Structure 1
Amino acid sequence: MNETNAVSLIRNKLFIYFFLTLLASTLSVSFYLFTVNWYVVDELQLEAKLGLVFFASSVPRLVFMLIGGAIADRVNKATVMLLSDLTKGLLLVAVIVLLLVDLFSIGILIGLSFVFGLLDAFFWPSSSSLMPSLVSRDQLTRANSIVQTTQRASTIIGPLLAGLVIGFGSYEVMFAFVSAMLLLAAIVDLIIRKNVSYDQDELNESSSVWHNIKEGFAYLKQSPFMLALMLSSVSMNLFLSGPMQVGLPLFARDILNGDEFTYSLLSGMLGVGTLVGALLIGVLNVRQKRGMVALTGIMLLGLFMVAFSLTDSLLLSLMFISLIGLVISTIDVPIISAIQAHTEKKYIGRMMSLMSFASMGLIPVSYLLTSFLISLGLTIDTILLSSSVCLMVVGVFVLVFAKSLRTVN
């Protein structure tokens, strides 16, 4: 990374290559999820099996995430990205063949989702930990903002484009499009692999993967600010994911007395808010007090969730949910940048995977807990209000007791 310290992001060829491959990967994920979901519901008419597809992709992603982080610290990270994109692209070519001969079944789809989840468990720790090798430390926040903006935008644009391709074309055309994107991403990964070099002491090839994982936990335990970051991330996903994802359609129907259009408006404004937040953080390029920025964001997130839970006005609901989306990005980007900036390079893959593991691990729990509370007869606005208060309590606790996070840049 000798040259990137003095080169702006727009002129940093390695970062541009990284941006292109990540754009292809994130859009392909958005396209794939929409296409698979609609194929199960519309073509196979097996709505009850859709949960199995989600389960098949989420479990390996969670279980193998720590191994993926250890692998990312042992080899060239672009190599992992290359193998993941290439394998996915080739698998989708096989899917097109199965569709053409009418042999694409729900069982094959569940198996495919499992493999995709497994590959993601290795791809994302490698891609997120590659950034410090491409840009200088003072550019990390802006670079991560661009990445987050790309990912947020793909969740908004992806379903729209996929719907148009399927509507005017076919499932075969859609899968061919996704496969082509992934294969092109693999070519770009190869270019990055040839241009990113690692010092031998940055890699951990001599010890076992299990030893690398244990080293990662030991490194985490001796870092108070990293532990505080983990607690903040875990709390966000426990108190936010379930109430927002499970509760949003219920809020649209029961609190706002709306329909599917109301739900789509709420979802759309949440996406717009996260996109604007990522852009704002990128423009400001926050480099100082990133921990304090994240903590302030958590407190604001709790306040906006309280306001959202207490309103029955569509206009106010749209305003508050867009603000919720905005502060989510102002929390995520500084946290990721702080980890990348303050972690030794030989540990960065494991730290990013531990962060993902900590946050993802409680998402299913949050879903189940929200569903359980609904089954007990609690209204969704009550659940949202309670979650907001819990999130703010955690924010105050971390703010008071985690001095290392308050002061970290």
Structure 2
Amino acid sequence: MTATLTATAAPSRPAHRDPNVLRWLGAYTSSMVGDSVYYIALSWAAVQGGSPAQAGAVMSVSALPRAVLMLFGGVTADRLGPRRVVIGSDAVRCAAVLAVAALLFLTSPGLWALAVLALVFGTVDAVFVPAVGALPARVTSRDQLARVQGMRGLAIRVASILGAPLGGLGVAVGGAAAAFALAGLFIAVSVPLLISLRVSGLPADDGAAGATTPWQDLRAGLAHIRHHRVLAPLMLAIALGDLGFVSPLNVGLTLLADRRGWGAAGVGWVLAGFGVGAGVASLLLTVWGRLPRAGLVAGYAILAGSVAIGALAFVPGLAGAVGVALLIGLLAGLSGAMCAALLQTQADPACLGRVTAVASLISLGLTPLSMPFTAAAIGAFGPGPVYVVSAAVCGLGGVVALAVPGLRRAELPR
């Protein structure tokens, strides 16, 4: 039986005017800023405390538990409720960061403390990420979820803009210890805001989840995706889109800039162009609130974005590359928000944590594995052919969205 949500806000109230949603947005933004400051502090402390290889190992420690435990993190979010999980996750992350900050203030513990902190963060992220993705559907009405995704995109942009300079300032003023303390304070701000949230309830939140095992819950969630006429093709579209998108805009961009002579500053300008485009898309969705024909819009946006990705390798000048990156960001922000809103409105609310976990595992755990192969291919064949292949893979995601009737005709609630 499909569970139903009790609306927490009147459908006629826009999300950006709903105090409950604004509390969620404040908590999410503060937590994301804390995350950005944390990564700056961790990378600086690791580089200062060991060799480049050791620093790289510390930075990558969190990836394994995040990937391995992510699916069961979705089960946890569904069994306990996403609000409880996010509160607990932020509390643990805050305590861990502040503990390491205190340790660095008092002594020089070496890289082991940083490795333990990264391991804790990766483990907690495995439950935090699915719960964060499932929480918006509990704090607003279904017709406002597209607008909430726009607001979430704006929060991510704000966090990326503020986090790096704040982390750098913390390191400059008091070293890694001060930066870790600053990260902990930002994460701590999210906890009381989350506690004050009003959320809708599900039967699973009332303790009924104990009738099944976590493994049975996971299998049920995967079956829900596999047999759903929208979710199954949507997951495939997301996987193909991300697979063709992640590497060209990460390691591929660095190698491309090196060959074009743009330098590190050029990489920064191109990424800034992407960020501006994604921010504009988020702002437009926040204002509009809803786009008709969400599945169709997502498919065409992925297709157009794939063409822009392929074109990036053939733009000779930095100014042109920044313009193309802005277009990629605009289209990626639009398609990403539509896909996220469709996931949240099409999934059974009782399975939303598990659905979010699968999507997050694809985006955060699997697609980054393509980066070493992309780097090797660019070294062997040059950026042009590799970007074209990446664009074709990304475009296949759009083809799936447009070719499958259930996804192509999918609409967001009014």
Q: Normalising by structure 2, what TM-score?
A: 0.92
Alignment partners' CA distance in 1, 2:154 and 2:272: 15
Alignment partners' CA distance in 2, 1:222 and 1:270: 35
The equivalent residue for 1:230 is 235
Q: Give 1:38's match in structure 2, choosing from 35, 39, 44.
A: 44
> Does the alignment pair 1:14 with 2:16?
no
Q: Give 1:324's match in structure 2, choosing from 320, 323, 328.
A: 328
Query: 1:112-140: per-residue Cα shift (whole Å, max 9, x none)?
Result: 11110111111121121111121111111
Q: Give 2:30's match in structure 1, choosing from 24, 31, 45.
A: 24
The equivalent residue for 1:52 is 57
Q: Give 1:4's match in structure 2, choosing from 5, 10, 13.
A: 10
Moved more, 211-220 or 239-248: 239-248
Deviation at 1:198, TM superposition (A): 1.4
Deviation at 1:397, TM superposition (A): 4.3
The equivalent residue for 1:111 is 116
Q: Give 2:308's match in structure 1, choosing from 304, 307, 311.
A: 304
Whether the 8 Å contact between 1:295 and 1:331 is mirrored in structure 2 is: yes
Distance 1:8 1:285, change over 3 A: closer
> Does the alignment pair 1:347 with 2:351?
yes
Deviation at 1:230, TM superposition (A): 0.7
The equivalent residue for 1:381 is 384
Query: 1:289-325: per-residue Cα shift (whole Å, max 9, x none)?
Result: 1111111111111111122111111111110011111
Alignment partners' CA distance in 1, 2:39 and 2:149: 24
Q: Give 2:107's match in structure 1, choosing from 102, 106, 112.
A: 102
Deviation at 1:359, TM superposition (A): 2.4
Moved more, 10-19 or 220-229: 10-19
Distance 1:231 1:3, change over 3 A: closer
Moved more, 306-315 or 280-289: 280-289
> Does the alignment pair 1:243 with 2:251?
no
Whether the 8 Å contact between 2:239 and 2:397 is mirrored in structure 1 is: no
> Does the alignment pair 1:81 with 2:83?
no
Q: Give 1:140's match in structure 2, choosing from 137, 145, 159.
A: 145
Query: 1:257-288: per-residue Cα shift (whole Å, max 9, x none)?
Result: 22221122112222222212211222232342
Amino acid at match of 1:177: L
Deviation at 1:56, TM superposition (A): 1.1
Whether the 8 Å contact between 1:4 and 1:12 is mirrored in structure 2 is: no
Alignment partners' CA distance in 2, 1:379 and 1:278: 34
Distance 1:233 1:197, change over 3 A: closer
Query: 1:20-57: per-residue Cα shift (whole Å, max 9, x none)?
Result: 1101111111111112112222x225222233123211
Distance 1:2 1:181, change over 3 A: closer
The SS at the match of 1:224 is coil
Q: How does 1:205-220 map to 2 (within 5 A)?
A: 205-220=210-225
Q: Give 2:278's match in structure 1, choosing from 274, 285, 292.
A: 274
> Does the alignment pair 1:124 with 2:126?
no
The equivalent residue for 1:361 is 365
The equivalent residue for 2:3 is none
Distance 1:268 1:11, change over 3 A: closer
Amino acid at match of 1:171: A
The equivalent residue for 1:150 is 155
Distance 1:146 1:398, change over 3 A: closer
Deviation at 1:197, TM superposition (A): 4.6
The SS at the match of 2:246 is helix
Alignment partners' CA distance in 2, 1:105 and 1:130: 37
> Does the alignment pair 1:313 with 2:313?
no
Deviation at 1:161, TM superposition (A): 2.1
The SS at the match of 2:209 is coil
Whether the 8 Å contact between 2:70 and 2:127 is mirrored in structure 1 is: yes
Deviation at 1:220, TM superposition (A): 0.8
Alignment partners' CA distance in 2, 1:286 and 1:197: 22
Alignment partners' CA distance in 1, 2:303 and 2:392: 10
Amino acid at match of 1:115: V
Amino acid at match of 1:408: A
Deviation at 1:69, TM superposition (A): 0.7
The equivalent residue for 1:196 is 199
Amino acid at match of 1:118: T
Q: Give 1:172's match in structure 2, choosing from 162, 177, 184.
A: 177
Distance 1:115 1:312, change over 3 A: same
State the superposition RMSD in angstroms.
1.8
The equivalent residue for 2:295 is 291
Alignment partners' CA distance in 2, 1:364 and 1:170: 30
Residue identity over aligned pairs, in percent, reads: 25
Alignment partners' CA distance in 2, 1:20 and 1:2: 18
Amino acid at match of 1:127: V
The equivalent residue for 1:261 is 265
Alignment partners' CA distance in 1, 2:98 and 2:212: 37
> Does the alignment pair 1:159 with 2:161?
no
Deviation at 1:96, TM superposition (A): 1.7
Return 5+ residue gaps in structure 1 as ranges.
none
Alignment partners' CA distance in 2, 1:200 and 1:77: 13
The equivalent residue for 1:337 is 341
Deviation at 1:394, TM superposition (A): 4.1
Whether the 8 Å contact between 2:29 and 2:158 is mirrored in structure 1 is: no
Across the two proteins, how many residue pairs are aligned to each other? 403
